[in-house]
Structure 1
Amino acid sequence: MTDHRGRLPEDIRKVIDDPERLKVLMELDVLDSGPDADFDRLSRTAAHIFNTEIALVTLLDTKRQWFRSCFGVGNLTEASTEQSFCAHALGLPIGLEALVVLDATQDDRFKDSPLVTGWPGIRFYAGAPVVIAGKKVGSLCVISAKPRDALEPNLVEQLVDLAGLASTLFALKDEARVRARTEADLVREEWRHALTLEAGKVGSWVWNIELGEVVCNDMFRRMYELPEIGTVQIDHVLGAIHNTDRVAVQAALNASMTEGVDFNVEARVATSGRWLAMRGRVYQRDATGKPLVMMGASIDVSESKFTAEHTRLLLRELNHRVKNTLAMIQSVARQTIRQNPDPKDFIAAFSGRLRTISDAHVLLADRDWSGVQLYEVIASQLGPDFLTKPDRAAVHGSDVMLPADHALGLGLILHELTTNAHRYGAWSGEKGSVSIDWELKSEPVPGLSLTWREVDGPAVATPEEYGLGVRLIERSLAKVLDSEVDLNFDVNGVVAKIWMPLPSEHA
C-alpha cells in the first residue's frame, strides 16, 4: 500500500522504473510536445462516455506523469508519479485490464493522497494502460469528484478499447514521425554511400526528378565547379556544361527517361573545359511509368582525350566497371528493399553491402583494375590487424592476387558471412570464433579453395526460407566461371566452402 508519504509500493515502482519500458517511452519522443487534436478528441470522447469531469491520456516516467491530452484540468500538464493513480493502473497484474476505484476515500491505497484530500478531490477513477511495443508507457483514464456504486462491465470494455485506440494512435504517429525524418536521409545519404567511389574519381549523384534536386558527393561538386554547400538543382548541373555539349546531354537524359535506355554521354565543363563521362539510369518510376528518381556517376575523362592508348583502354574498363556496378547496385537495392521495406531496416541491410562494393572498387581503382590481394579483401571485413591482433578469428593461408571479379564477389560473400556471424552466429555470443583457411590447388585446374568455419557459437539450424544474404553468398561469384560456393548450416556452426579457378598469372 502507499504510505502517508505518498511513496509507490515496491511492485508498482519496479514496473515504473523498468529500463525497457522507459526506453520505449523515450523513443516515442513526445514528452513536452505541443497539443495534439487527435488525442484531445479522444479524451473528450472518454469524458462524454463516462460522464466525468476529467479525462486524461498520460505518459509516465520515473518522476512525473505527463498529460499528452487533458480534459477538465485547465492548463495543468503534469503531476507527480508518486501520487499517480495511473501508476497503479500500469502495475496491474496479468489478467486485469483496467483499474477501477469507485470511491477513493474508502480505498487504503489512495485515501490519504493529496489528489483525494485536496484538488481535484478524486473519488471515482477508472484507467487502462496504453501499451507500445509490449510495454505499458501510460494510460487513458477518467476521473470524477463524485463516487460511484458500480461501473458497468461494458463501460470497462469501452475504456480498454479507448486505451487500445490511444496505443495505436501513439504507434502510428511515431511511425509517421520516423518515416518523415528518415525518408529524405534515405535518398540523400544511402544512395550517396552507394556510389561513393571518390578514390576512383567518380562523382556520384541521385536526381529527384519531381523536385529537380540532385544529391551528390563532393567529387561531383568539384567536377562541375558547383558550390561546396547548399542544394544542387538539375538546372545548376546543366548550366555548368559547355553550350556546345548541353543539347546532347539533354537529349540523352530525355531518351533515358522516355525510352528506358541508360544515360550515357560525354561533355565538357564550361569553365574548366574538362571532359566528363556521364552514366546513369532511371531507378524508380510511378505506376504510370513516369520517371521519379535517376542515379548515376560522372567520371573525369579529360586525360583519355589527350594521352596514349593505355589510358584509353583503362577508361573503357572503368566505364564498363561503372556500368556493371550500377547494375549490381540496382539489383541488390531491389532485392534488399523487397525484404526490408521499412527505411531503418533498409538502411541497415543495404549500406553495408554498398560499402563493401565501394571498398572493392577503391582497391581495384588503385591498381588499375589489375587485381587485389586476398589479404586486402579479408582486411576490409576483419580489420587491418587481422593477422597480428585477431579478434576471435584465425586466418591461415598465403596471400594471393585475385582478379577483379573474384575480389568483388569474394568481398560480398565475406561481408554477408561476417554480418551473419555478428548477428546470429559465432560472434553473437562471447565464446564463438571463426576460422578462414585456404590453399592453392593445381589440379584439376589452378584455383583457390577457401573455407569459412564458425565454432562455439549458438546452435545453428537451416532456415526454412533463404533470405537475400544467403542468395548473395551463393551467387556473388556467378561471373567467375566454374566457381562453387557450398553453404552448410551445420548445427555446430556455419561452414562455407568456396572454390574459385584462378588464371595462371594470378595463381
Structure 2
Amino acid sequence: MREFFMPALVDLGASIIIQNAQREYLFVTNLPEIWAREDFQSPSDEVVFGADVAARLATLKADMTATGQKAQLEVMVGAEQFFEFRVQTVEFAQGGLHLVTTIVDRSEERHRERLLRALLREVSHRSKNLLAIIQSIALQTARYSGSLDLFLHKFRGRLYSLSQSQDLITDSSWRGAYFFELVQQQTEKYLPENGDLVKVSGDNLLLSPNASLHLGLALHELIVNAVSHGSLLRSKMPIEVSCVRKHVDGHDTVEMVWHEPLQGALKPVDDAEQLQSHFGSTVLERVVPASVNGKAQYAISRDRIAYHLAFPLDVAE
C-alpha cells in the first residue's frame, strides 16, 4: 500500500510519524521542508523539531497511555508558518500501544483567518464612521428644516447620496472613489436625460473613502440646488466641475471647483445669510470641509454659483 499511501500524503500536505510506547521512531515521512533532513541517524522529537517543540510534544504525550486518546497542539515557526500536530494512541495487533502523529501545514488557513479578522475590524471601524456621518447629517438637517416633511425630504436625499458614494467605495474594495465617477453618480439621478449639462475636467483622482463620502455629499447639495433653484434646465448652460492636484506651501492638496452659471434664476433678496442657508451652505461650508480637514468657499451672485473646496492630498490617498 506504500505506493498509494505516500502520494496521497504528499497531495494533502500531511506528515506522518509513528512511535512505539518508548517514543522511539519507527516511521517518519513527508516532513515539512523546514524540518526535512536526510541525515537523521537516530531520529527523535528533539532531533527533528528542536528542544522547544520537543518539550511541548513530551508534555502532550506524557498522559497518552490508553488506546484511542487524542491530543493536538499548534506550533508557530517564524512569523508566517503554522503547523498543527495531531497525536493519537493506536493499539497495533503486534507490538502494543503506538503513537501516531500527523502534521498539517495550517499557514495559509491562519493567514486567511488573520486577514478576515483585519477586514472585520476595518468594516466595524468604517461602519462606525458612517453612522457618525449619518448622525451629523440628521442633526444638521433637523436644525435647518422648518417642518418634518422638509426634514424627511432633505434627509432622504442626503442618505441616498451617501449610499451612492458607498457603492463606489465598495466596488473599489474600500480604496475609495474616483472623482469623475463620483460626479457622474451624484448628478445623473437629477439629470437623467441631460447628463451633458455637467462638464467634468482635471485630474481623475482616487479619493479616500472619507473624502468620497463627504465630497459626494457636497456634490449632492450642489446639484439639488442647481435643479431646484437654478436656471440649469431652462438655460441649458452647463455646470463646470474640476478637480486638480496642486502643490501649495510645500504640501500636496486637492482642489475641487464647482462653477454654475445663472440666468435670471435668483430674485433680489436683502438677507444674504438667508439665501446662503436656503442653498444648504451649512453642509457645504462647515460639515464637508471640516470632515476632510480642508477649507471651502461658497459664493452666490446674480449670475453664478461658485463652490471651491481644498483639502490635503493625504486625505485623498
SS in 2 for 1:447: strand
Aligned to 1:486: 297
Shift of 1:305: 10
1:467 aligned residue (270, 277, 280): 277
Aligned length, in residue pairs = 200
Question: Does structure 1 residue 455 correspond to structure 2 residue 261?
Answer: yes
1:326 paired with 2:131, answer yes
SS in 2 for 1:370: coil
Q: Higher relative contact order by CA 8 Å / sep ≥ 6: 1 or 2? A: 2
1:341, distance to aligned residue in structure 2 (A): 5.3
Cα distance in 2 for partners of 1:426, 1:438 equals: 24
The secondary structure found in structure 1 opposite 2:248 is: coil
Which whole-Å CA distance do the structure 1 matches of 2:314 and 2:147 have between them?
43
1:172-187 correspondence to structure 2 within 5 Å: none
Structure 2 gap segments, 5+ residues each: 1-108
Give the Cα–Cα distance (whole angstroms) in 1 for the partners of residues 247 and 120 of structure 2.
34
Structure 1 residues 310 and 435: CA distance shift in structure 2, 3 A: same
Find the aligned partners of 1:484 and 1:456 in 2 and give their Cα distance. 24
Q: Partner residue of 2:185?
A: 380
Q: Report the CA distance between 1:432 and its aligned residue.
A: 3.7
Q: For 1:368, which of 140, 148, 173 is the aligned residue?
A: 173
Q: Deviations over 1:265-309 (max 9, x none)?
A: xxxxxxxxxxxxxxxxxxxxxxxxxxxxxxxxxxxxxxx999432
Is the contact between residue 459 and residue 493 of structure 1 (CA under 8 Å) also seen in structure 2?
Answer: no
Cα shift at 1:464: 2.8
CA contact (8 A) 2:296 2:310 kept: yes
Q: Is contact 1:437–1:452 with CA below 8 Å preserved after alignment?
A: yes
SS in 2 for 1:491: coil
- Aligned mates of 1:496, 1:330 — CA distance in 2: 25
CA contact (8 A) 2:179 2:207 kept: yes
Distance 2:153 2:281 in 1: 16
- Closer/same/farther in 2, CA of residues 441 and 334 from structure 1, 3 Å limit: closer
Give the residue type in structure 1 aligned to 2:127.
V
Gaps of 5+ in 1: 1-303
Aligned positions of 1:195-206 closer than 5 A: none
Alignment of 1:357 with 2:169, yes or no, is no
* Deviation of the 1:364 alpha carbon: 1.6
Q: Aligned partners of 1:446, 1:341: CA distance in 2, in Å?
A: 41
Looking at structure 2, the residues matched to 327 and 443 of structure 1 have their Cα atoms a distance apart, in angstroms, of 31
Helix, strand or coil at the partner of 1:478: helix
Q: Does 1:446 align with 2:252?
A: yes
Provide the C-alpha distance between the structure 2 equivalents of 1:360 and 1:431, rounded to a whole number of angstroms: 26
**Match in the other structure for 2:227:** 422
Q: CA deviation at 1:504?
A: 9.6
Kept in 2, the 8 Å contact 1:426–1:493? The answer is: no
Superposition pairs for residues 401-420 of structure 1, below 5 Å?
401-420=206-225
Do the aligned partners of residues 332 and 501 (structure 1) sit closer, same or farther apart at CA in structure 2, a change above 3 Å counting? same
- Match runs of 1:99-498 below 5 Å: 307-340=112-145, 342-383=147-188, 390-427=195-232, 429-444=234-249, 445-457=251-263, 458-459=265-266, 463-465=272-274, 466-467=276-277, 469-474=280-285, 475-481=287-293, 483-498=294-309
> What residue number does 1:240 align with?
none
CA gap of 1:459–1:400, structure 2 versus 1, over 3 A, is: same
Q: Is the 8 A contact 1:421 1:427 kept in 2?
A: yes
Q: CA deviation at 1:505?
A: 8.6
CA contact (8 A) 2:289 2:309 kept: no
Q: In structure 2, what is the Cα distance between the partners aligned to 1:335 and 1:428? A: 28
For residues 57-116 of structure 1, what are the alpha-carbon distances to aligned partners after superposition, in whole Å with 9 as ceiling and x for unaligned? xxxxxxxxxxxxxxxxxxxxxxxxxxxxxxxxxxxxxxxxxxxxxxxxxxxxxxxxxxxx
- Residue 345 of structure 1: how far off its partner (Å): 2.1
CA distance in structure 1 between the partners assigned to 2:129 and 2:316 by the alignment: 24
Task: Describe the SS at the equivalent of 1:429.
Answer: helix
Distance between the aligned counterparts of 1:490 and 1:305, measured in 2?
A: 61
Cα drift, residue 361 of structure 1: 1.8
Contact 1:441 1:449 in 2 (8 A): yes
Task: Give yes or no for contact 2:179–2:243 (8 Å, CA) kept in 1.
Answer: no
Determine helix, strand or coil for the equivalent of 2:291.
coil
1:454 maps to amino acid: E
